[in-house]
Amino acid sequence: MRFKIISAEEAAGFIHNGDVIGCSGFTAAGCPKAVTEALAKRAEVEHEKGNEFKIGLFTGASTGDSIDGVLARAKAIKFRSPYQSSPDLRKAINEHELEYFDLHLSELPRLLRQGFLPRPNFAILEACDLTDDGKVILTAAVGIAPAIADLADHIIIELNRYHPKALAGIHDIYDVKNPPQTTVIPISRVSDRIGKPYLQVDPDKIIGVVETNRPNETGGFVPSDEITQKIGANVADFLSVEMKAGRIPQTFLPVQSGVGNIANAVLEAMGSHKDIPAFEVYTEVIQDAVIELMEREAVKFASGCSLTLSRRALETVYSKLDDYKKKIVLRPQSISNSPEIARRLGLIAINTAIEADILGNVNSTHVMGTRMMNGIGGSGDFCRNVELSIFTSPSTAKSRNISAIVPFVSHVDHSEHSVKILVTEYGVADLRGLSPRQRAAIIIEKCAHPDYKGLLKEYLDLGVKGQTPHHLGACYAFHRTFQKTGNMRDVNWKDFQ
Amino acid sequence: MRFKIISAEEAAGFIHNGDVIGCSGFTAAGCPKAVTEALAKRAEVEHEKGNEFKIGLFTGASTGDSIDGVLARAKAIKFRSPYQSSPDLRKAINEHELEYFDLHLSELPRLLRQGFLPRPNFAILEACDLTDDGKVILTAAVGIAPAIADLADHIIIELNRYHPKALAGIHDIYDVKNPPQTTVIPISRVSDRIGKPYLQVDPDKIIGVVETNRPNETGGFVPSDEITQKIGANVADFLSVEMKAGRIPQTFLPVQSGVGNIANAVLEAMGSHKDIPAFEVYTEVIQDAVIELMEREAVKFASGCSLTLSRRALETVYSKLDDYKKKIVLRPQSISNSPEIARRLGLIAINTAIEADILGNVNSTHVMGTRMMNGIGGSGDFCRNVELSIFTSPSTAKSRNISAIVPFVSHVDHSEHSVKILVTEYGVADLRGLSPRQRAAIIIEKCAHPDYKGLLKEYLDLGVKGQTPHHLGACYAFHRTFQKTGNMRDVNWKDFQ
């Protein structure tokens, strides 16, 4: 091999205080691990010496602990974008130890290329194979790899032997140029391949190759329970009714589905529904449920940005890789999350809300309006442009002391204009074509937990005039009561007039 | 002519209580007038007889008084979508006399074709010419004409002799099919024509032609004043700096610009700026400023959905129509407001906010969170997907008793994730890459009126913990104080803890 094999510590040694790092991967899949761990150690050593050592960090989405976790604990991050799900990093963000810029995932490559954000001078890419002329075969995800490889001065490759070289062919690397060079993204079907199976980088930028043999740090998800199963059944029933009514074609539409146990339960319910035909998936994160449904031929093809699979499911894929490469494609997030493609393919987008309000606004990011949970992720990329945007949530949290259906969300990520369907374990509110007061009535009727229906109706009775029943004094009565008593049901309207 | 010439009253006679009407046009341009006026009279007569008479109404955007005004005053509207700007209709909406569904303008044709919204059974189209085989030449706008002509059972043509038949050739009629038939929209340059110069309708659907001779009901806009001129200069200066820094190409980028006197002032400032080259416009509403800049060759080409011009400016265009048809194209709103095209062309989108907050959220629709002003219009179509999304607003309103920069907007139409640049007469806040606390600091510094800077900083000092400084008790202190004393400056934080 033309490139120098170096240790993770040597690689980390190239990186200095103030540098800006971009990493391959999307979720914990496809992320580098060894160099960032060594970098965290280097930061700790420098900090002990009394030296400043912090870096800027761009990734595709969340990462494994060996990026966000170790670097947050080492206090080595100066700024971070666009998404995270690490408990330690989350804590650091909410305590203002770093600046966190929460962004629509499709937009990051474009914003980086625009040149206003700090330019990543180092790209760290996890690869399963590499040629002397700079053809990089990525592993279980793509993320922002094309953009950062293009923009960085230096590239470090983590050559991870855990992933078979035979992954070559699963990726479709095609990145979108910024205007005025932007062209049509010529995807008309979920399975269309428009790019190359490798990422071409400038070989002169590669300053070293670190050899590793480590699995993805992706865990399994919490299994579905009675409530998530009911949510899944409600979504599947709704979609089958839409199909029978001719509002979804008989061939169905491609499905985008968020991350987590509700998303798994929804996919499982759809895959098992007698009236829903085998469908295609066009999404960012390919989860275990997709592979399970592929094994049962309930899902025909999956396009995504990452294989975010439990070790068992990933091994299923790797054991039949020739077969799976015919029905899975991994794309950069500028393509997997592209608004252009989401609208053209007419996706059904199913994402999870932290809370929703009776007006149809959705909070995807902030607990009680202030504390960052993870980030908006791709939910905005999809909900804004797809054929049918569905948000799901259990109707309550914290032993029912929190209602997920509130008078007004404590943070608005998706506005009433973009949220079309709301689903809890109690039912489905179809908000298309409804005025705010009509939406409020149907959301309370169909989605709210019985414990909170009366309180939500009382809120509407406070007598706000105008198109939208938004009471500036009482809209956060649920949240503020919870902050005081630990139970939203204790609300006393007299305190909020 | 094959079709029967009928009176407006005869045409209105075809329409019954409960029918759903779709109208051509976008703003007051291109709208029918005579049939809807006759319909309002018919409704009044029926109401006097004690009969129910209300219709559902879909249009491209706002209309002239002869649609929204007369029908609202006649209490003849049951539901209305997607946008309006009529004082009488606004009043009726806010008093719940009808249901108003406020929607992203690009989405209406798609949602109508989806089949869940009530289907328009009548389409009323304003035309300047018509052939026996159903080729309709529209007038000064397109709007949702292709979708409603397709969906309706019956079509009524208002043949308006005010508009020259020679308009033929200015329109580019190409509508987007719903999935799975959706294909690439093959526009790669602002001036690309991809459709037909006429709207092909089924001639058997045309139940009559009403002859008229009436100008558009478009007024001139309020002339720019010192504040709007400063906003315009701030936007133009910012864009020229971006261009010098290489973040906007030297050939510039196409511009989308909202409606009204601020938009006119911004365009005027850009067209007069020494460092901004002649540019192209890709927008929904082509206003007077665009024509003035075209006359000076500061704008090279304009693509829009409507010619919303003062009578004088429209006559300028009509007097040199052969020339203007080479540099203006009118498209359906599914194309003029298409997210796919907005992103591909890399638009600079400049829209007006009612208010913005220190977190970067923008309110485009509701006064004090409850009272509908007009609607979201195309601002969401553009801001979500363009290369650079800019929102402008004067820093104060009502003799400075209202600050347009508030702790938290009373309605969120565009979230912190999508708003990139905020501009008032005081300056420009570039929010790209910033965390919520960084955004708050720069918005207060650059955009807030000096009278409110101290109060906004005090809000930040209330000690909210977490990523986002959103105080659930005090976030509406400005608004609630205004409701009590008529002056946001009277805020007393002790009342809002």
Q: Is B287 on the interface with A (CB under 8 A)?
A: no
- The answer on pLDDT for A103 being more than 90 is yes
Give Cβ neighbours of residue B49 (< 8 Å, ≥ 6 apart): none
**Cis status of the peptide bond prior to A180, with omega within 30 of 0:** yes
Task: Return mean pLDDT, chain B.
Answer: 97
User: Which whole number is the average pLDDT over A145-159?
Assistant: 98
Q: How confident is the model at residue A262 (pLDDT cuts 50, 70, 90)?
A: very high
What local confidence, expressed as pLDDT, does residue B231 receive?
A: 98
> N- to C-terminal Cα distance for chain A?
72
Q: Do B114 and A246 touch (CB under 8 A)?
A: no
Confidence check: pLDDT of A130 > 90: yes
Closest chain B C-alpha to A418 CA, distance in angstroms = 8
Percentage above 90 pLDDT, chain A = 96
Give the Cα separation of A300 and A486 in Å (integer): 46
- Is some CB atom of chain B closer than 8 A to the CB atom of A200? no
Question: In the 8-state DSSP scheme, what is residue A205?
Answer: G
Rounded Cα gap, residues A461 and A478, in angstroms: 15
CA dist B396 and B118 (Å) reads: 41
Question: From the candidates B37, B268, B280, B284, which is the catalytic residue?
Answer: B284
Burial B330-369 (b: 16+ CB within 10 A, else e): bbbbbbbbbbbbbbbbbbbbbbbbbbbbbbbbbbbbbbbb
Q: How far is A27 from chain B (nearest CA, A)?
A: 20
Structure token pair of residue B400: 């400075």
- Identify the H or E element spanning B328: strand B328-330
- Residue B1 confidence (pLDDT): 86
User: On the CB side of B87, how many CA atoms lie within 13 Å of its CA?
Assistant: 0
Question: pLDDT (tens digit, 9 = 90+) per residue, B461-479?
Answer: 998 999 999 999 999 999 9
Peptide bond into B254 cis (omega under 30): no
- Opening angle at CA B10, ends B4 and B13, nearest 5: 130
Helices B450-460 and B436-446 pack at an angle, to 10 degrees, of 160
Does B264 reach chain A within 8 Å, measured CB to CB? Answer: no
Residues β-bridged to residue B424 = B427
Q: Specify the 3-state DSSP secondary structure of A284.
A: coil
Instruction: Compute the Cα dihedral for A139, A143, A148, A150 and give only its sign.
Output: positive
Minimal-distance CA residue of chain B relative to A373:
B467
Residue A252 has pLDDT above 80, yes or no: yes
% residues pLDDT > 70 (chain B): 99
- Residue B421: phi and psi, rounded to 5, are -135, 135
**Gap between the Cα atoms of B80 and B83, Å rounded:** 8
How does DSSP assign B244-312, residue by residue? HTTSS-TT---EEE-SSHHHHHHHHHHHH-TTSPPEEEE-SEE-HHHHHHHHTTSEEEEEESEE---HH
Closest residue of chain A to B497, computed from CA coordinates: A480
| A449: pLDDT strictly greater than 80 | yes
DSSP string, A90-159: HHHHHTTSSEE----TTHHHHHHHHT-SPPPSEEEEEEEEE-TT-EEEE-SB-BTHHHHHHH-SEEEEEE
SS3 at position A278: coil
Domains in chain A with CATH codes: 8-212 (3.40.1080.10), 226-286+347-494 (3.40.1080.20)
pLDDT at position A218 is 80
Q: Any CB–CB contact under 8 A between B343 and chain A?
A: yes
In the predicted model, what is the mean pLDDT of residues B109-135?
A: 97
Q: Say yes or no to pLDDT of B436 above 90.
A: yes
Q: Do A253 and B179 lie within an 8 Å CB cutoff?
A: yes
Q: Which amino acid is at B146?
A: P
A368 close to A403: Cβ distance less than 8 angstroms: no
In whole angstroms, what is the distance from residue B329 CA to residue B303 CA? Answer: 5
pLDDT band at A223 (very low <50, low <70, confident <90, very high): confident
Residue whose token pair is 């009502």: B398
Contacts of A111 in chain B (CB under 8 A): 432-433
pLDDT tens for B264-287 read: 999 999 999 999 999 999 999 999
Which chain B residues touch A184 with a CB distance below 8 Å?
A: 184, 186, 188, 344
Closest CA to B94 of B363, B481, B368: B368
For residue A233, report the phi and psi dihedrals to the nearest 5 degrees. -65, -40
Confidence of residue A59 (pLDDT cuts 50, 70, 90): very high
Give the separation between CA A71 and CA A83, rounded to whole angstroms: 15
B32 has a pLDDT exceeding 70:
yes
Q: Which DSSP state fits A15?
A: -
Contact residues on chain A for B104, CB-CB shorter than 8 A:
417-418
Q: Is the pLDDT of residue B222 over 80?
A: no
> Which ipTM did the prediction report?
0.97
Residue in A117, A411, A470 closest to B468 by CB: A411
B162's tokens: 């005010």
Residue A224: band (very low, low, confident or very high) from pLDDT cuts 50, 70, 90: confident
Q: What pLDDT score does A175 carry?
A: 84
* CA angle in degrees (0–180, nearest 5) for A194-A198-A200: 105
What does the alpha-carbon distance between residue B138 and residue B173 come to, in Å, rounded to a whole number?
A: 10
Cross-chain Cβ contact B179/A468 below 8 Å: no
Residue-wise pLDDT for B373-416, tens only, equals 999 999 999 998 999 999 999 999 999 999 999 999 999 999 99
pLDDT on residue A1: 86
Q: Which candidate from A361, A371, A470 shows the least CB-CB separation from B370? A: A470
What confidence tens digit (pLDDT) does each residue in B39-55 have? 999 999 999 999 999 99
Write the Ramachandran bin of A64: left for phi over 0, alpha for psi from -120 to 50, otherwise beta. beta
For A32, left (φ over 0), alpha (ψ -120 to 50), or beta? beta
pLDDT greater than 90 at residue B497? no
Give the tens place of pLDDT for each residue, B308-317: 999 999 999 9
The whole-number average pLDDT for the span A199-219 is 95
Per-residue pLDDT for A222 more than 90? no
The pair phi, psi for residue A136, each rounded to 5°, is -105, 125
Chain B contact for A150, CB < 8 A? no
How many angstroms separate the most distant Cα atoms in chain B?
A: 74
- Cα separations (Å) of B23 from B80, B142, B148? 12, 10, 8
- Residue B220: pLDDT over 70: no
> DSSP state, B171?
B
Whether A473 and chain B come into contact, CB under 8 Å, resolves to yes
pLDDT score of A220: 65
Question: What is the rounded distance in angstroms from the CA atom of residue A303 to the CA atom of residue A282?
Answer: 5
Tens of pLDDT, residue by residue over A163-191, are 999 999 999 999 899 999 999 999 999 99
For residue A221, pLDDT beyond 80: no
Q: Nearest CA to A201 among A113, A132, A140, A121? A: A132
Concerning whether A284 is annotated as a catalytic residue, the answer is: yes
DSSP B49-81: TT----EEEE-SS---IIIIIHHHHTT-EEEEE
- pLDDT tens per residue across span A385-429: 999 999 999 999 999 999 999 999 999 999 999 999 999 999 999
Q: What is the mean pLDDT of chain A?
A: 97
Residue A268 has pLDDT above 70, yes or no: yes
What is the per-residue pLDDT across A429-445, written as a single tens digit (0 to 9) for each? 999 999 999 999 999 99
∠ CA B124-B129-B134, rounded to 5°: 65
Neighbours of B453 (CB within 10 A): 17
